């Protein structure tokens, strides 16, 4: 009913007003209030969840805080879950693809259908071009400030929302183009090909990369974290150049991994460390702060004290972060979480009329490690470098400790609102509202307001780089080191 949807608009407005500590950093109160009022006034009839999302998500995105998002819940059906577990991809989209210059290219076809080669362009999906799909959902995707590099990285999310609209269709119809040839390629919702030879249907060859690798690249990981999100290697066996790849900052025995990594590269032979933060969506500030402490030679702080709107913020976070769905267990978890939130709540300090500050591990002084790295540090960044990864980049940039190669980070250099990220499910539409409760600023917050960390040398990978397996950012750093 329209009234129920209007009440959900008001609910979102109320939650943000009450708990978001930097709601008006990029938009003034009058402008944001007008946007919410306008959406409420426009709802005069019942709307399916997808249409309601298209109305309300641009208002949440107007706050310009990348962690404040409205989303359509992703429900994985049993057959799809089985496909993901057995094959490693979703049946309705078996491609590894990238949105480059507003065009969508397949880098790998997991089904390895002979007709679909790496470099094939997806011209349309169910009759709509990728650029058209992107622009339809563009205004509803949240980002930090005025950043332009983050949104293209969200195209797979946008694609899911678009296909959600197509739920009544029995198939997903792709129009593909490779060189001078254009053809149609259709899949049903279970991933079965509808227009390929019968001999190919259901045939899943052994996995192999469709992207070539340069000859002579015999890199081997020296260390790999338990979750495989962190790896350390020497560049092509050259012990003078270490490459530390961090896919995310999640807790996976990270202290042990960093300790062992820096023991490896403490040798005088290792002159440079390349830290790869590309497409790192962030995670825990404590994890990123631990890495930071290995790169500095004096005591440092990773971030300033967190800022929240009220003492109740921590209590709300602890209650809503629980993923337990059992109606019997959830009340017990909620009660235990509330008790756990009491001690940190007592440390809150009043900061002005509306804010409280809170000190946690990464906002306290970090001592440099005995095995800290004193050599040159280079950092690879791009639009997918977000949240805690962007905070690390900001500190390394602000302290002058590292040289940056790539493109502007997707996360703001001056911090974000994250820290605690409860999810509220809207009761009628079932859309999910998620936003940060704590303003987190790096110790070195020196960048241009509303923009990410900018590279010292900008390098943008091309489609040909992807198809040839070339890493232009890493290659540029090695050339810089070797004086080429």
Measured between alpha carbons, how far is 129 from 215 in angstroms, rounded to an integer? 36
C-alpha angle with apex 408: 224 to 365, nearest 5 degrees? 60
Given this model, what pLDDT does residue 204 score?
Answer: 38
When pLDDT is averaged across residues 182-202 and rounded to a whole number, the result is 67
- Residue 223: band (very low, low, confident or very high) from pLDDT cuts 50, 70, 90: very high
Least confident among 52-61, 209-218, 241-250: 209-218
Q: Residues 274-305: pLDDT tens digits?
A: 999 999 999 999 999 999 999 998 888 898 88
Measured between alpha carbons, how far is 143 from 148 in angstroms, rounded to an integer? 9
Greatest mean pLDDT among 44-48, 85-89, 364-368 = 44-48
- Residue 177: band (very low, low, confident or very high) from pLDDT cuts 50, 70, 90: very high
**What tokens appear for 122 in the block?**
């997806």
Determine if the pTM surpasses 0.75: yes
Which domains, from first to last, does the chain contain? 83-126+169-200 (no CATH), 221-297+368-413+448-481 (3.90.226.10)
When pLDDT is averaged across residues 189-195 and rounded to a whole number, the result is 71
Least confident among 101-110, 184-193, 379-388, 447-456: 184-193
Q: Which residues contact 272 (CB under 8 A, 6 or more apart)?
A: 240, 241, 242, 375, 376, 377, 378, 481
Given this model, what pLDDT does residue 343 score?
Answer: 63
Measured between alpha carbons, how far is 330 from 69 in angstroms, rounded to an integer? 24
- Residue 417: band (very low, low, confident or very high) from pLDDT cuts 50, 70, 90: very high
Helices 29-42 and 49-61 sit at what angle, rounded to 10 degrees?
Answer: 170
Q: Residues 249-274: pLDDT tens digits?
A: 987 889 999 999 999 998 889 999 99
Given this model, what pLDDT does residue 401 score?
Answer: 95
């Amino acid at each position: 009913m329209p009234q129920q949807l209007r009440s959900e608009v008001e609910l979102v407005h109320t939650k943000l007003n009450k708990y978001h500590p930097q709601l008006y950093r990029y938009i003034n109160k009058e402008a944001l209030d007008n946007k919410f009022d306008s959406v409420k006034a426009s709802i005069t009839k019942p709307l399916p969840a997808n249409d309601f999302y298209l109305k309300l998500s641009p208002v949440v995105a107007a706050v310009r805080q990348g962690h404040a998002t409205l989303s359509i819940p992703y429900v994985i059906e049993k057959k799809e879950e089985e496909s993901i577990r057995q094959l490693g991809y979703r049946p309705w989209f078996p491609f590894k693809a990238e949105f480059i210059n507003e065009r969508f290219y397949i880098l790998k076809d997991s089904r390895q259908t002979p007709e679909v080669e790496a470099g094939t362009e997806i011209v349309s999906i169910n009759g709509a071009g990728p650029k058209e799909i992107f622009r339809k959902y563009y205004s509803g995707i949240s980002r930090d400030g005025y950043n332009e590099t983050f949104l293209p990285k969200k195209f797979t999310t946008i694609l899911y929302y678009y296909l959600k609209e197509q739920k009544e269709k029995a198939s997903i119809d792709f129009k593909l183009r490779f060189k001078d040839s254009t053809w149609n390629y259709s899949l049903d919702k279970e991933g079965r090909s509808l227009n390929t030879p019968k001999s190919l249907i259901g045939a899943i060859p052994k996995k192999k990369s469709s992207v070539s690798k340069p000859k002579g690249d015999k890199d081997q990981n020296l260390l790999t974290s338990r979750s495989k999100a962190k790896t350390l290697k020497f560049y092509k066996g050259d012990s003078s150049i270490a490459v530390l790849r961090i896919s995310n900052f999640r807790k996976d025995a990270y202290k042990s991994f960093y300790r062992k990594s820096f023991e490896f590269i403490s040798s005088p032979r290792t002159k440079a460390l390349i830290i790869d933060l590309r497409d790192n969506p962030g995670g825990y500030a404590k994890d990123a702060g631990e890495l930071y402490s290995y790169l500095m030679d004096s005591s440092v702080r990773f971030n300033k004290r967190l800022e929240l709107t009220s003492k109740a913020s921590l209590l709300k976070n602890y209650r809503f972060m629980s993923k337990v769905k059992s109606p019997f267990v959830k009340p017990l978890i909620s009660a235990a979480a509330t008790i756990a939130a009491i001690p940190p709540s007592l440390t809150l300090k009043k900061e002005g009329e509306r804010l409280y500050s809170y000190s946690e591990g990464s906002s306290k002084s970090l001592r440099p490690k005995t095995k800290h790295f004193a050599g040159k540090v280079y950092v690879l960044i791009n639009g997918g470098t977000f949240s805690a990864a962007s905070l690390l980049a900001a500190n390394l940039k602000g302290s002058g400790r590292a040289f940056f190669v790539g493109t502007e980070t997707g996360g703001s250099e001056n911090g974000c609102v994250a820290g605690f990220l409860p999810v509220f499910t809207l009761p009628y539409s079932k859309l999910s509202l998620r936003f940060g409760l704590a303003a987190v600023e790096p110790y070195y917050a020196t960048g241009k307001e509303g923009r990410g960390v900018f590279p010292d040398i900008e390098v943008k990978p091309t489609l040909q780089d992807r198809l040839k397996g070339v890493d232009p950012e890493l290659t540029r750093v090695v050339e810089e080191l070797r004086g080429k």
